A and B are shown apart, each in its own frame.
Chain A
Amino acid sequence: MKLKNIHLENYRNYETIQLAFPNSLNIFLGENAQGKTNLLESIYVLAMTRSHRTNNEKEFIRWGAEFARVEGEIEKKERIFPLEMAISSKGKKTKINHIEQRKLSDYVGALNIVLFAPEDLSLVKGSPQGRRKFLDMELGQVNPHYLYQLSQYQSVLKQRNHYLKRIYETKKTDQNFLDVLSEQLVESASHVLFLRYQFLLKLEQHAQKVHQKISHGKERLTLSYQPSLPIAQETTKEEIKAIFLEVLKKNQAREIAKQTTFVGPHRDDLFFLVNEKNVQTFGSQGQQRTTVLSVKLAEIELMKEEIGEYPILLLDDVLSELDDDRQMHLLETIEGKVQTFLTTTSLEHIENKMKSTPDIFYVTNGQIERKSESV
């Protein structure tokens, strides 16, 4: 898969720019706060319609402007077509090949992307919420059905919590209605959970191989999903539904008292284990970094397997965060096969490690100058 070019209008600190990317390796080079990450983010937004940095999407719009637009041409399976994502105060609009896509699950997945940003280094150490978001974003990209089920789950969960609140306030329970909401909740939950288990099984296979290589055969990485429900890898969808319903029934009185749904995919977590020990608590910093790198590189392979083509890779300032050995692994894995966009404040880390000649884009305060020279 390739991003042939991009056209930004009023995106962050860019008024309007057009860039072509004929090359496989593209470097956005510049001082701090010039717009390197903004540029990378715009590519991410073109693929995902949302950002890894913020939940407030109005931030994309250049200060003082009315809207922001990102357009780009994608080459996928020997077809070239444009994608467009625009945002204004009225909301977002997404188009594939000039045709508007109203549903997120119809749009996301057209451009497949793996992003590796400094924030990802906290994937292992950070909050369960961050790990759930990671699962949702990565799985959603390769499986639109997952995105659909997840959004069903989230909207029913919201309705159910509101209804619990109403029951609490009015002291009146319409058991039929609460049962309907519970039934809807377990239906979408069973799909979400089933797909998460399937995805993690595949991701683990790939991540294990990479991790073993980076750790020179010394470490074995495993991914362990931590459900809030008493279920496991082998549990079928029908069983998940029955178990979840049972738990909801058991918790009903307490859930009404607390006005919230206690368990479900929205409360689950994911553990990374190295040699059977949780890296979050027992891993060294280096092990945590290796784990994240393994998982990111595994994503690239997994997407290739699921989609039949390599995704595009975005690297935001991460090379400098990795030691030489890990940098080599990263660059070896991607060179020649994965179109890559990376930001950096200096070429120091990259020099001598690349076999091919990159395109270098100098970023200065929302302006870009392109130089094709050897590093």
Chain B
Amino acid sequence: MQYPTPIAKLIESYMRLPGIGAKTAARLAFFTLDMKEADVTDFAKSLISVKRDLHYCSICGNITDEDPCDICKDTTRDRSTILVVEEPKDVMSMEKMREYHGLYHVLNGVLSPMDGTGPDDINIASLIQRLHDEEVTEVIIATNATTEGEATAMYLSRLIKPAGIKVTRLAHGLSVGSDIEYADEVTLLKAVEGRREL
């Protein structure tokens, strides 16, 4: 027997999510069918809103509902330091730690020619622009400890250092090959304290 079209379409949509196969998708689809209409409407609205109402901050590249984002607007933060991360979720991890009070820059990616990502494809130009315009004295590079994360850090260092800005690499405490996202807070704190100059 074929599923009625609306159910089939929903199953197909669920299957696009990571880690969800046909069986789970069917279960979720039938669960959705049993949900209250108001809840389903809320759900649908959040899905659309996450794409429609969320933007990238024009300064730091983080996701935000207002441009510029809260952190970039916050005048109490230390504006002389920029911490560079790969993904918006890395900003979340750092913020949870509450020990870093400077600004951020989100690359939204990492240098990986294999995946078609070169220097022009991630937010590097906007970072260099910020360094021209703002009074930044230190850039902390907190890309992941993968070969791609390292390559990105080395590349940024080559671009930034000639301008006389201190470049440090957040690495100590993070085990090799690991992602910031999975690091616990103590590890991250140690990593910030033990950053090394590039």
Contact = CB atoms under 8 A, between A and B. Distances in A.
Whether both chains belong to one complex is answered with yes
Contact of B112 (A159, A176, A179): A159
A177 B147 contact: no
A268 interface: no
Contacts of A159: 112-114, 147-148, 151
Contacts of B113: 159-160, 162-163, 165-166
B177 interface: yes
Contact of A180 (B112, B154, B176): B154
Interface string B147-158: 110110011001
Interface in A165-219: 165-166, 174, 176-177, 179-181, 183-184
B119 A181 contact: no
B158 A176 contact: yes
Interface stretch (A57-65, A126-134, A150-158): A150-158
A148 B146 CA distance: 12
A254 interface: no
A370 interface: no
A184 B154 contact: yes
A103 interface: yes
Nearest to B176: A148
The 3 closest A-B CB pairs, nearest first, are A162-B113, A163-B113, A180-B154
A6 to B, nearest CB: 30
Contacts of A162: 113-114
Contact of B159 (A158, A160, A176): A176
Given A163-B113, A181-B151, A184-B154, 13 more contacts: A155-B147, A156-B151, A159-B147, A162-B113, A163-B118, A166-B113, A174-B119, A176-B159, A177-B119, A177-B155, A180-B151, A180-B155, A180-B158
A166 B147 contact: no
B191 interface: no
Interface of B: 111-114, 118-119, 147-148, 150-151, 154-155, 158-159, 176-177
Contacts, number: 43
A17 B161 CA distance: 61
Instruction: Determine which residue in A166, A174, A177 has the highest number of CB atoms from chain B within 10 A of its CB, and name it.
Output: A177
A155 B146 CA distance: 10
A156 B154 CA distance: 13
A177 B150 CA distance: 12
A148 B145 CA distance: 13
A277 to B, nearest CB: 41
Contacts of B112: 159
Nearest to B19: A90
11 contacts: A152-B147, A155-B147, A159-B112, A159-B148, A163-B118, A165-B113, A176-B155, A177-B118, A177-B151, A177-B155, A184-B150
Nearest to B111: A177
Contacts of A166: 113, 118
A176 B177 CA distance: 23
A92 to B, nearest CB: 16
Contacts of A155: 147
A90 to B, nearest CB: 9
Instruction: Determine which residue in A159, A165, A179, A180 has the highest number of CB atoms from chain B within 10 A of its CB, and name it.
Output: A180
A161 B118 CA distance: 13
A41 to B, nearest CB: 28
B119 A103 contact: no
B177 A103 contact: yes
A156 B111 CA distance: 11
B114 A158 contact: yes
